[in-house]
């Protein structure tokens, strides 16, 4: 069967697999990638284990212990609450770590969603060209010209925010960039020999798009998407801060900080401490993402 | 004429984009749940009255009819009236349903025109701060690719993008205005109130500037004419400032065009934390109050600004580097 030949034919795919491995290896060799990986692993482990192991309920109030400062940070601190407590006596460390779980969950799923949507739209636009391309790209331009956050708060502000709706809204707001990159890569690839060869051999458009082009073009885009996980986590926290994220009593970075802002004068730690966690996580993801991106650019030679 | 053809083409494309944005926001606002009339008339208003107001305002017509009417107005420069804001000033929110002043609601265009200069002031100051922070870091990093200034640029920009603007705003307000009392933070009573919000916005923009500069300066320094400039007897500083920076200005300009919407997103949150009376705060309040005409107006105006800025960026880039063609 001719279709069997097509899948084994292009040498590009074999080379591409190796490129992905080389990118990982080169990134892993850099100091910043390792530091990021270690810090991130520790924080994720803490977020998964500590709330269970300590047995502290992040929503349990304890008015007697309210507004306890973090350790070494003022009158009446205790090791029972290393990061102190909030205005209702809830443990800040557990709240921050549970917030981190939601932040990561939403950040990762949103990025995957927008990568897939963007890749599919870009694939169709780049492969078919012509009118489909024009329509899809105008749509992309239009969406790029509305600040994503206006779009997100408009939708979430008038409907009720839930975890799936937040993921959906952020994911749908973020795809245009991926669509553009995918489109231009696919346009360049489809002119190449192996794609034409597959066409001549009678492979369907569907087959060329999903078995030849997508596996080839998606991995390099996925490396860049690591940076977007951090961006989406920031967006999630901004939404929470504006009251449009996951709703209380579920703790998220955004709603903890928004609550804490009211007590800034007598309990500064409520608004600031969870943010330190968020910054640590984001910095490690960004360091890893940046070194992956550098490795990718070094191997692909710029662009 | 080349330039006229360019302008005509880009303005036409821009008009299509603005039209699509309007259609997108308009439809979105009408398909999501939440009745603005209920908010306008207040919770106590009888159901029949709400239906009557909604019908009078044309809110029960089919979406495409409403959209046609709205776009007709937009063509004539009429963005409609706010649902909730009175023309005479500050009072907002659900007025009582028998309020006689409801007829005098604020023009959307006026509301935007009043707040836009404040946001422009904030954005411009932020850009100045961002350049002050980013140019030394970025240029130095670009001059020593692979060396420690380059690493420093990478670490600093990774740190800066990891600082959520609302958190940074709170922390800086706590340190700079509560503890050290260096500058005011909340509200607006004079230019000094712009400094802190602009600083926060600048730190949000800086990593993008650093990255662009590192890459483009490193690229320029590899070129032949840089070596030749050395032979011509130009000092190192002259080479860096005349050649390297000038050639980096085009990518920097492009960055402004691409990141414009990110800039606006930052403005939104930062104005909200600092209670800074600009377009961003207006947007947030409009969303919270389901003020449809105001949200639509803001979306259209920002989309138009996006289009115009990108055209201007391309024109200026061609003026700086005549080799570019669009």
Q: A-chain residues within 8 Å CB-CB of B306?
A: 145
pLDDT in tens, A51-67: 888 877 787 777 777 77
Residue to mutate among B261, B262, B285, B307, with most A CBs inside 10 A, is B261
Q: Does the distance separating the beta carbons of A158 and B290 come in below 8 Å? A: yes
Given its phi and psi angles, is residue A202 left (phi above 0), alpha (psi -120 to 50 degrees) or beta? Answer: left
Min Cα separation A59/chain B (Å): 22
* Model confidence at A271: pLDDT above 50: yes
Q: A-chain residues within 8 Å CB-CB of B27?
A: none
Average pLDDT, integer, range B291-297: 89
| Confidence band of A15 (pLDDT split at 50, 70, 90) | low
- Same domain, yes or no: B134 and B81: no
Given its phi and psi angles, is residue A72 left (phi above 0), alpha (psi -120 to 50 degrees) or beta? Answer: left
| Confidence band of B207 (pLDDT split at 50, 70, 90) | very high
Tell me which of A199-203, B83-87, B131-135 is least confident: B83-87
Average pLDDT, integer, range A116-143: 85
* Model confidence at A101: pLDDT above 90: yes
pLDDT in tens, B158-198: 999 999 999 999 999 989 988 888 888 888 888 889 999 99
- Same domain, yes or no: B168 and B188: yes
Does some domain include residue B325? no
Q: Which residue of A has its CA nearest to B172?
A: A272
Res A302: pLDDT: 47
Q: Does the distance separating the beta carbons of A146 and B299 come in below 8 Å? A: yes
Average pLDDT, chain A: 83
Q: Under a CB-based contact definition with an 8 Å cutoff, are residues A238 and B166 in contact?
A: yes
Task: Tell me the DSSP string of B112-177.
Answer: HHHHHHHHHHHHHHHHHHHHHHHHHHHHHHHHSTTSHHHHHHHHHHHHHHTS-HHHHHHHHIIIII
Q: What is the Cα A104 distance to its own chain's centre?
A: 8
Average pLDDT, integer, range B127-142: 92
CATH code, A19-55+66-272+281-300: 1.10.3720.10
- Same domain, yes or no: B85 and B117: no
Average pLDDT, integer, range B125-139: 93
Res A143: pLDDT: 76
Res B89: pLDDT: 54
> How far is residue A217's CA from residue A189's CA, in Å, rounded to a whole number?
9
Q: Under a CB-based contact definition with an 8 Å cutoff, are residues B94 and B42 in contact?
A: yes
Q: Under a CB-based contact definition with an 8 Å cutoff, are residues B212 and B253 in contact?
A: no
Upper half-sphere CA count for residue A140 (Cβ side, 13 Å): 23
Res A110: pLDDT: 94
Counting the structural domains of chain B, the total is 2
* Continuous H helices in B239-324: 245-258, 260-274, 279-288, 292-320
Does some domain include residue B70? yes
Res A111: pLDDT: 94
| A211 near B CB under 8 A | no
Q: Which residue of A has its CA nearest to B295?
A: A154
- Same domain, yes or no: B239 and B95: no
A and B: number of Cβ contacts within 8 A? 139
Q: Under a CB-based contact definition with an 8 Å cutoff, are residues B98 and B79 in contact?
A: no
- Same domain, yes or no: B81 and B159: no
Does some domain include residue B326? no
Give the domain-ending residue among B44, B79, B109.
Answer: B109
| Confidence band of A229 (pLDDT split at 50, 70, 90) | very high
Q: Count other Cβ atoms within 10 Å, centred on residue A264.
A: 16
Average pLDDT, integer, range A6-28: 66
Average pLDDT, integer, range B148-167: 92
> How far is residue B196's CA from residue A261's CA, in Å, rounded to a whole number?
17
ipTM higher than the 0.95 cut: no
Res B103: pLDDT: 56
Q: Under a CB-based contact definition with an 8 Å cutoff, are residues B283 and B268 in contact?
A: yes
Higher pLDDT pick, B176 / B262: B176
Determine phi and psi for B191, rounding to 5 degrees: -60, -35
* Model confidence at A147: pLDDT above 50: yes
Domain CATH code at residue B134: 1.10.3720.10
Q: B-chain residues within 8 Å CB-CB of A265?
A: 178
Q: B-chain residues within 8 Å CB-CB of A257?
A: 166-167, 170
Q: Which residues pair with A91 in a beta bridge?
A: A85
- Enter the tokens of residue B110: 């006026």
Average pLDDT, integer, range B62-78: 84
Res A156: pLDDT: 84
Whole-number CA gyration radius for chain A: 23
Upper half-sphere CA count for residue A198 (Cβ side, 13 Å): 24
* Model confidence at B137: pLDDT above 70: yes
| Confidence band of A16 (pLDDT split at 50, 70, 90) | low
Q: Does the distance separating the beta carbons of A242 and B284 come in below 8 Å? A: yes
- Enter the tokens of residue B316: 């200026």
Res A3: pLDDT: 44
Range of the domain at B239: 112-320
Upper half-sphere CA count for residue A300 (Cβ side, 13 Å): 17
Min Cα separation A207/chain B (Å): 33
H helices, E strands: number in chain B: 14, 2
| Confidence band of A39 (pLDDT split at 50, 70, 90) | very high
Q: What is the Cα B15 distance to its own chain's centre?
A: 19
Res A286: pLDDT: 94
* Model confidence at B4: pLDDT above 80: yes
Q: Does the distance separating the beta carbons of B32 and A272 come in below 8 Å? A: no
Give the domain-ending residue among B52, B80, B109.
Answer: B109
Min Cα separation A146/chain B (Å): 6
Instruction: Give the residue from B123, B124, B105 showing the smallest Cα distance to B297.
Output: B105
| A149 near B CB under 8 A | yes
State whether residue B281 is helix, strand or coil: helix
Q: Under a CB-based contact definition with an 8 Å cutoff, are residues B176 and B168 in contact?
A: no
Longest Cα–Cα distance of chain A, Å, equals 79
- Going by their DSSP bridges, the two strands B81-86 and B105-107 should be labelled as antiparallel
From chain A residues 77-136, the ones with a CB under 8 A of any chain B CB are: none
For chain A, the helix, strand and coil percentages under 3-state DSSP, each to the nearest 5: 75, 0, 25
Please state, in angstroms and as integers, the Cα–Cα distance from residue A239 to each residue in A18, A148, A216, B59, B284, following that order.
40, 12, 35, 29, 11
Q: Does the distance separating the beta carbons of A275 and B261 come in below 8 Å? A: no
Res A188: pLDDT: 86
Does some domain include residue B279? yes
Does some domain include residue B18? yes
- Same domain, yes or no: B161 and B232: yes
Tell me which of A90-94, A250-254, B43-47, B109-113 is least confident: B43-47
Res A63: pLDDT: 76
Q: Does the distance separating the beta carbons of A241 and B166 come in below 8 Å? A: yes
Give the domain-ending residue among B109, B124, B152.
Answer: B109
Q: B-chain residues within 8 Å CB-CB of A37?
A: none
Res B279: pLDDT: 92
| A29 near B CB under 8 A | no
- Enter the tokens of residue A280: 């640590």
Q: Does the distance separating the beta carbons of A143 and B261 come in below 8 Å? A: no
Res B25: pLDDT: 84
Q: Does the distance separating the beta carbons of A155 and B272 come in below 8 Å? A: no
Determine phi and psi for B106, rounding to 5 degrees: -70, 145
Q: Measure the CA angle with vertex B234, ends B232 and B238; round to 5°.
A: 145
Average pLDDT, chain B: 83
Q: B-chain residues within 8 Å CB-CB of A264?
A: 170, 174, 178
* Model confidence at A123: pLDDT above 60: yes
Does some domain include residue B37? yes
Q: B-chain residues within 8 Å CB-CB of A238?
A: 164-166, 269
Res A267: pLDDT: 82
Average pLDDT, integer, range B90-119: 70
Q: Which residue of B has its CA nearest to A154?
A: B287
Tell me which of A65-69, B15-19, B73-77, B262-266 is least confident: A65-69
- Enter the tokens of residue B12: 């036409």
- Same domain, yes or no: B96 and B163: no
> How far is residue A22's CA from residue A32's CA, in Å, rounded to a whole number?
17
Min Cα separation A144/chain B (Å): 8
Does some domain include residue B240? yes
The reply to whether omega before A249 is within 30° of 0 (cis) is yes
Which of A91-95, B41-45, B241-245 is predicted most confidently? A91-95
For A282, the closest of B20, B162, B174 (CB atoms) is B162
Higher pLDDT pick, B263 / B301: B301
pLDDT in tens, A272-291: 888 899 999 999 999 999 88
Q: Which residues have a Cβ under 8 Å from the Cβ of A86 and sit 6 or more positions away?
A: A66, A67, A92, A95, A256, A259, A260, A263, A267, A270
Res A240: pLDDT: 92
| A154 near B CB under 8 A | yes
Res B199: pLDDT: 95
Sole residue written with tokens 């530091």: A35
Q: B-chain residues within 8 Å CB-CB of A226?
A: none
Q: Does the distance separating the beta carbons of A290 and B157 come in below 8 Å? A: yes
């Amino acid at each position: 069967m001719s279709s069997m030949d097509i899948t084994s034919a292009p040498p590009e795919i074999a080379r591409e697999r190796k490129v992905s491995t080389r990118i990982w290896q080169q990134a892993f060799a850099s100091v910043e990638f390792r530091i990021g990986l270690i810090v991130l692993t520790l924080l994720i482990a803490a977020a998964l284990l500590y709330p269970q192991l300590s047995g502290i309920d992040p929503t349990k109030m304890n008015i007697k212990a309210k507004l306890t400062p973090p350790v070494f940070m003022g009158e009446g601190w205790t090791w029972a609450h290393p990061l102190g407590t909030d205005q209702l006596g809830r443990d800040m460390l557990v709240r921050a770590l549970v917030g981190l779980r939601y932040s990561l969950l939403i950040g990762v799923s949103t990025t995957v969603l927008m990568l897939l949507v963007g890749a599919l739209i870009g694939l169709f636009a780049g492969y078919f060209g012509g009118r489909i391309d024009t329509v899809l790209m105008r749509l992309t331009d239009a969406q790029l010209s509305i600040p994503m956050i206006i779009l997100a708060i408009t939708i979430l502000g008038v409907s009720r925010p839930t975890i799936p709706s937040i993921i959906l809204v952020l994911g749908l707001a973020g795809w245009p960039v991926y669509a553009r990159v995918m489109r231009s890569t696919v346009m360049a690839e489809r002119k190449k020999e192996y794609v034409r060869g597959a066409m001549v051999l009678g492979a369907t458009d569907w087959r060329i798009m999903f078995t030849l082009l997508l596996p080839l073009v998606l991995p390099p885009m996925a490396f860049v998407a690591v940076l977007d996980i951090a961006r989406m986590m920031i967006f999630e926290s901004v939404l929470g801060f504006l009251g449009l994220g996951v709703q209380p009593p579920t703790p998220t970075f955004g709603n903890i900080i928004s609550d804490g802002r009211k007590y800034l004068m007598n309990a500064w730690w409520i608004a600031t401490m969870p943010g330190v966690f968020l910054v640590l996580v984001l910095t490690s993801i960004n360091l890893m993402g940046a070194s992956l991106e550098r490795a990718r650019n070094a191997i692909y030679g710029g662009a | 004429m080349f330039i006229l053809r360019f302008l005509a083409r880009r303005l036409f494309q821009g008009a299509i984009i603005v039209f699509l944005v309007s259609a997108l926001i308009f439809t979105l606002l009408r398909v999501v749940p939440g009745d603005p009339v209920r908010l306008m008339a207040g919770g106590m208003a009888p159901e029949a009255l709400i239906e009557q107001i909604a019908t009078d305002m044309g809110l029960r017509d089919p979406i495409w009819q409403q959209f046609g009417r709205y776009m007709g107005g937009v063509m004539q420069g009429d963005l409609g009236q706010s649902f909730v804001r009175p023309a005479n000033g500050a009072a907002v929110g659900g007025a009582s349903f028998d309020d006689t002043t409801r007829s005098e609601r604020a023009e959307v265009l006026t509301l935007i025109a009043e707040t836009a200069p404040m946001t422009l002031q904030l954005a411009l100051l932020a850009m100045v701060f961002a350049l002050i922070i980013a140019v030394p870091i970025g240029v130095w990093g670009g001059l020593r690719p692979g060396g420690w200034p380059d690493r420093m640029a990478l670490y600093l920009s990774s740190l800066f993008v990891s600082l959520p603007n609302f958190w940074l705003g709170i922390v800086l307000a706590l340190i700079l205005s509560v503890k050290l009392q260096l500058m005011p933070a909340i509200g607006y009573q004079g230019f000094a109130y712009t400094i802190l919000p602009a600083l926060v916005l600048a730190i949000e923009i800086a990593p993008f500037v650093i990255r662009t500069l590192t890459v483009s300066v490193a690229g320029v320094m590899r070129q032949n004419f840089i070596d030749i400039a050395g032979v011509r007897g130009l000092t190192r500083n002259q080479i860096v400032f005349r050649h390297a920076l000038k050639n980096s200005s085009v990518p920097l300009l492009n960055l402004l065009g691409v990141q414009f919407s990110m800039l606006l997103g930052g403005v939104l949150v930062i104005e909200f934390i600092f209670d800074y009376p600009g377009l961003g705060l207006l947007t947030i309040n409009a969303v919270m109050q389901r003020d449809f005409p105001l949200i639509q107006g803001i979306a259209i105006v920002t989309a138009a600004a996006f289009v115009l800025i990108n055209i201007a960026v391309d024109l200026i880039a061609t003026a700086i580097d005549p080799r570019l063609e669009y």
